[in-house]
């Protein structure tokens, strides 16, 4: 059974940092492309970024609002993908989901972790 | 970025009704489109990928069609557990972009 479990959310001040983790199980993680998707409270879904598998080049892509502030990485030995969020803004507040990507983002989703950016 | 316009933004329907939701892309995206269902407080769940391919385990009453710029999600006979918000997602041209969502409510 595919499982994705996010952690690391919480409260951060504007300008601060947080690192989210997503632990994966139930599939061959090394072959998987992974994305992060977020949802502001009461709003729709927004794709944040993606990391390809090492065999796919291991490269990353980001949405414009987070480019240069957020970094996605992966540790295939731990079956984990990370989202390092720096220079946080109040508009980064929301629930962050990691997804396994196959035939596009969102094949499977984690339960999400809440990030609140507030002074 | 490609704009995905969903319609309607909300609808009221009864159990047993046939429901159709439309997504229009601002430019052609081949069939690189998915449909997602989200219930309150829960993570989204993919129903359809590649415009018309059902995700494993999804009831057959959910179907998708379209290519290019016009896509539809059809629920053939609405069930109580189908009341939720539905989103489309294009992944043909990066960044992937979602529609704004369609909330399906009980009439």
Instruction: Compute the mean pLDDT over every residue in chain B, rounded to the nearest whole number.
Output: 97
The whole-number average pLDDT for the span A12-26 is: 98
Q: How would you classify the pairing of strands B85-90 and B97-98?
A: antiparallel
Label residue B45 exposed, middle or buried (CB < 10 Å: 0-12, 13-18, 19+): middle
Nearest to A34 by CA among A104, A112, A99, A103: A99
Interface with B, mutate which of A103, A107, A110, A114 (most B CBs under 10 A): A103
Chain B: residue whose CA lies nearest to A107? B46
Contact flag B45-A109 (C-beta cutoff 8 Å): yes
d(CA A5, CA A55): 24
**pLDDT higher than 90, residue B8:** yes
Count of C-beta atoms within a 10 Å radius of residue A21: 17
Label residue B67 exposed, middle or buried (CB < 10 Å: 0-12, 13-18, 19+): middle
CB contacts < 8 A, A to B, total 61
Strand partners, A3: A25
Cβ within 8 Å of residue B75, ≥6 positions away: B18, B19, B20, B61, B62, B82, B104
Contacts of A112 in chain B (CB under 8 A): 43
Strand partners, B22: B7, B72
Label residue B22 exposed, middle or buried (CB < 10 Å: 0-12, 13-18, 19+): middle
Contacts of A111 in chain B (CB under 8 A): 43
The whole-number average pLDDT for the span B95-105 is: 98
pLDDT tens per residue, range A23-68: 999 999 999 999 999 999 999 999 999 999 999 999 999 999 999 9
CA atoms within 13 A on the CB side of A77: 0
pLDDT tens per residue, range A73-114: 999 999 999 999 999 999 999 999 999 999 999 999 999 999
**pLDDT higher than 90, residue A19:** yes
Using CA atoms, how far residue B88 sits from A64, A115, B52, in Å, is 20, 24, 12
A45 → closest Cβ in B49, B53, B87: B87
Residue ranges of chain A whose CB lies within 8 Å of a chain B CB: 35, 37, 44-47, 61-64, 97, 102-112
Query: Which pair of tokens denotes residue B8?
Result: 């309607």
Those of residues 29-58 in B touching chain A at CB distance below 8 A are 32-34, 36, 38, 43-46, 49-50, 53, 55
Contacts of A102 in chain B (CB under 8 A): 49
d(CA B79, CA B77): 6
Q: What is the largest CA-CA distance in chain B?
A: 38
Percent of chain B clearing pLDDT 90 (strictly above): 98
pLDDT tens per residue, range B48-98: 999 999 999 999 999 999 999 999 999 999 999 999 999 999 999 999 999
CA atoms within 13 A on the CB side of B35: 29
- DSSP SS3 for B22: strand
**pLDDT higher than 90, residue B107:** no
Shortest CA gap A101–chain B (Å): 11
Provide the CA B96 distance to its chain's centre, in angstroms.
Answer: 15
Where residue B106 falls among pLDDT bands split at 50, 70, 90?
confident
Contact flag B95-A61 (C-beta cutoff 8 Å): yes
């Amino acid at each position: 059974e595919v499982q994705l479990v996010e952690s690391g959310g919480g409260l951060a001040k504007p300008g601060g940092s947080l690192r989210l983790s997503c632990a994966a199980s139930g599939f061959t993680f090394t072959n998987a492309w992974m994305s992060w998707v977020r949802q502001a409270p009461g709003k729709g879904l927004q794709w944040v970024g993606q990391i390809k598998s090492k065999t796919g080049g291991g490269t990353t892509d980001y949405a414009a609002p987070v480019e240069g502030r957020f970094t996605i990485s992966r540790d295939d030995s731990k079956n984990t993908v990370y989202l390092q969020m720096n220079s946080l803004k109040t508009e980064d507040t929301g629930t962050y989901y990691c997804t396994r990507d196959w035939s596009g983002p969102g094949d499977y989703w984690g339960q999400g972790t809440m990030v609140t950016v507030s002074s | 970025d490609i704009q995905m316009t969903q319609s309607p933004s909300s609808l009221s329907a009864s159990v047993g009704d046939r429901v159709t939701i439309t997504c229009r892309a601002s430019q052609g995206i081949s069939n690189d489109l998915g449909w997602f269902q989200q219930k309150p407080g829960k993570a989204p769940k993919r129903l359809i990928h590649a415009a018309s391919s059902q995700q494993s385990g999804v009831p057959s009453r959910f179907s998708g069609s379209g290519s290019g710029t016009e896509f539809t999600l059809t629920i053939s006979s609405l069930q109580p557990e189908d009341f939720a918000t539905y989103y489309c997602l294009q992944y043909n041209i990066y960044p992937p972009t979602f529609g704004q969502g369609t909330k399906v409510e009980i009439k």
